[in-house]
Amino acid sequence: VIMEEVDEDLKKCQPVEDFVGVADFCATEDNQLSFTTGDRLRVHDRTSPEWWWAELYGLFGYVPSSYVRPCIDEEDVDDAWQDEEYFGSYGSLKLHLEMLSDKPRTETYREVVLSNRHCLEGRVVMDLGCGTGIISLFCARLAEPAAVYAVEASPMADQTRELVTRNGCQSVVSVFKGRVEELALPGKVDVLVSEWMGNCLLFEFMVESVLLARDRWLKEGGMMWPSSAALSLVPCQAEEEYRRKIVFWEKPYGLDFSCLKSLAQKEFFSKPKFSHEMKPEDCLSAPCDVLTLDMHSLQIPDLEKLKGEFCFRVEKSGTFHGFAAWFSVQFQSLDEVGPTLELNTGPHHPLTHWKQTLLMLDSPVFLHQGDSLSGMILLHRNPVWRRHMTLSLHWTIRSTQDSEACKTGQKSFPMWR
């Protein structure tokens, strides 16, 4: 048998292998695949010693073999939740100050407790991820629950115990330090309240811990607060962002840096931009809820892949630079007749610390009033890095100007791996 044939056969049957990026790689050709350090790539074919045909989040392309290393499974799996870094970040005051300073967020939770104070009497509440304990203190000070279990995994829990005592709530509020997944609580609860929402609603995937706590500790017929959540989307213009990040390179200080524009676009627009403050007038159409989650029935496996559809009608002509995403959460009243309260983090509501998330297209498209933009969104949770996901968008633009012309587009935004 001629050696080449053996090589060919070996190549054909060579197994698909996982590799990890050891450095950032920015594609310079269309058939190449960009990735960042730590990305888990699936190598389908070692086409040549230097270039391998690989896949990342469903996108295929050539990657330089020197930029990847074999993925040693055990080392990657146990760091999947990045708990060291995650709970460490909540151990300092920075994030808690940001959340407590967010008045729309904090006052909504206070209003929920206040407007349900009668029904809360004699009930048992769990505050999951209590942080400094603000929601637990609202419960103890504004209502008369039988007990509040304040659960917090970060070192902040030690401070929270002190805050509970200093505010005279120690007879009602008990602080449990640890991950809710590992804690034994005194008993089941009537209400499970938590402020778990991350950017684009699900990033950090604390929601998995909330659902697990629900299944383990919420009484039959108990209340989840928030009781439901929605992810909203809108096509928008982002003139300022586009000018600062892309147009800038055309003539800085009279020099021609325009050959850097494609690099800039890959570097700045490949991932979502968190904490982007939109103006209402940036919306090109009315927003729409692309995902709605019922927190009483949602199941943990549902979180792996969530899909939504959208159809926007362009209300005013403008440049479609990208999509903006945000979330809202609703709080059902404990007695059927009370009002459902809502915290909405969209551009038509008071600004919160989340602001909005901007998903920039590779190239802007001018849209005319009356055009329609329809498509689907897919939130694909990262199978390895459990607090991460990829947000993929597919869309079709149908113009009223010339009916048969329609443009389609698609883009995937890793958040972050």
Ligand X SMILES: NC(=[NH2+])NCCC[C@H]1O[C@@H](n2cnc3c(N)ncnc32)[C@H](O)[C@@H]1O
Q: Tell me: does residue 207 bind ligand X (CB under 6 A).
A: no
Contact criterion met (CB below 8 Å) for 415 and 389: yes
* Smaller CB separation from ligand X, 156 or 360: 156
Q: Which of 202, 206, 298, 415 binds ligand X (CB under 6 A)?
A: 206
Q: How far apart are CA 354 and CA 108, in angstroms?
A: 15
What character string, x for contact with ligand X (CB under 6 A) and - otherwise, covers 105-134? ------------------------x-x---
Q: Which helix (H) or strand (E) segment is 375 a member of?
A: strand 372-381
Does 195 qualify as catalytic in the annotation? yes
The edge-to-edge listing of strands for the beta sheet with 218-225 is 173-177, 147-152, 124-128, 189-194, 218-225
Comparing C-alpha atoms, which of 131, 123, 250 is closest to residue 188? 123
Does 55 qualify as catalytic in the annotation? no
Helices 103-115 and 93-101: angle between axes, nearest 10 degrees: 70
Q: Which of 38, 155, 198, 370 binds ligand X (CB under 6 A)?
A: 198
- The two three-digit tokens of residue 60, written as one number: 């295929």
32-40, 118-126, 201-209, 311-319 -> range binding ligand X (CB under 6 A): 201-209
- Shortest Cβ distance from residue 195 to ligand X (Å)? 5
31-39, 114-122, 173-181, 317-325 -> range binding ligand X (CB under 6 A): 173-181
- Shortest Cβ distance from residue 27 to ligand X (Å)? 32
8-16, 30-38, 112-120, 153-161 -> range binding ligand X (CB under 6 A): 153-161
- The two three-digit tokens of residue 172, written as one number: 């009602």
Tell me the residue number closest to ligand X, measured at CB: 129
Q: Tell me: does residue 274 bind ligand X (CB under 6 A).
A: no
Q: How far is CA 234 from the centre of its chain?
A: 16
* Smaller CB separation from ligand X, 82 or 396: 82
Q: Tell me: does residue 231 bind ligand X (CB under 6 A).
A: no
Per-residue burial over 255-280, b if 16 or more Cβ lie within 10 Å, else e, is eeeeeeeeebbeeebbbbbbebebee
Q: Tell me: does residue 179 bind ligand X (CB under 6 A).
A: yes
Q: Tell me: does residue 154 bind ligand X (CB under 6 A).
A: yes
What string of DSSP letters covers 70-123? E--HHHHHTTTT-HHHHHHHTTSHHHHHHHHH-HHHHHHHHHHHHHTHHHHTT-
- Shortest Cβ distance from residue 142 to ligand X (Å)? 20
* Smaller CB separation from ligand X, 196 or 249: 196
What character string, x for contact with ligand X (CB under 6 A) and - otherwise, covers 285-324? ----------------------------------------
Q: How far apart are CA 366 and CA 317, in angstroms?
A: 7
Which residue in 152, 204, 208, 241 is the catalytic one? 204
Q: Which of 34, 116, 209, 345 binds ligand X (CB under 6 A)?
A: 209
* Parallel, antiparallel or unpaired: strands 341-344 and 318-331: antiparallel
- The two three-digit tokens of residue 211, written as one number: 């659902």
* Smaller CB separation from ligand X, 164 or 360: 164
H helices within 246-308, ranges in order?
261-269
Q: Which of 56, 63, 140, 197 binds ligand X (CB under 6 A)?
A: 197
Q: Tell me: does residue 153 bind ligand X (CB under 6 A).
A: yes
Q: Which residues pair with 192 in a beta bridge?
A: 126, 224
Which residue in 75, 84, 152, 195 is the catalytic one? 195
Q: Tell me: does residue 416 bind ligand X (CB under 6 A).
A: no
- Shortest Cβ distance from residue 307 to ligand X (Å)? 23
Q: Tell me: does residue 163 bind ligand X (CB under 6 A).
A: no
* Smaller CB separation from ligand X, 128 or 377: 128
- Shortest Cβ distance from residue 208 to ligand X (Å)? 8
* Smaller CB separation from ligand X, 41 or 291: 291
Q: Tell me: does residue 195 bind ligand X (CB under 6 A).
A: yes
End-to-end CA distance of the chain: 44
- Residues with Cβ within 8 Å of residue 98, at least 6 apart in sequence: 353
Q: What angle do CA 298, 302, 307 make, to 5 degrees?
A: 110
- The two three-digit tokens of residue 386, written as one number: 């459990």
Binding site for ligand X (CB under 6 A): 87, 90, 129, 131, 151-154, 156, 179-181, 195-198, 204, 206, 209
| Residues belonging to the active site | 195, 204
